[in-house]
Amino acid sequence: MRRVSKADIKENDELYRGCTFLEPREWLDNAISGKCINTGGIIYDYDTLIEAFMAKDNLTYDQASQVVDFNTERGIPYMPTPRPVVHKEPIGIDDEDYDEDDLD
């Protein structure tokens, strides 16, 4: 994973004006996946956040997931609004195995 350029950070500042960003932006802006319609906060992809901490701090997957789970996510309620949102993909549903007809 590469560091985010200053130009990309500036572009994100414009796109997400007034939003609270996770720091350090040089690494964590890679994980931005959009803006939450309900809260107006920036949506960060959980897995990409882990990859960013692995690259930035040379951590293992388990170490980086602990940073995201305990340091990052637990701090979000104390951040100014609109707060960031961390999105996690649901576990246990494979796209190829999923069939809506089975839900009836």
Q: What does the pLDDT look like over 14-42, one tens digit per residue?
A: 999 999 999 999 999 999 999 999 999 99
| pLDDT higher than threshold 70 for residue 11 | yes
| pLDDT higher than threshold 70 for residue 50 | yes
Walk across the sheet containing 85-87 and list its strands.
32-35, 42-45, 85-87
| pLDDT higher than threshold 70 for residue 93 | no
DSSP per-residue letters across 51-80: HHHHHHHT--HHHHHHIIIIIIGGGGGGSP
| pLDDT higher than threshold 90 for residue 97 | no
Q: Average the pLDDT over 75-79 and give the result.
A: 95
Specify the pairing of strand 42-45 against strand 32-35: antiparallel
In this predicted structure, what is the pLDDT of residue 90?
A: 82
pLDDT interval class at 87 (50, 70, 90): very high
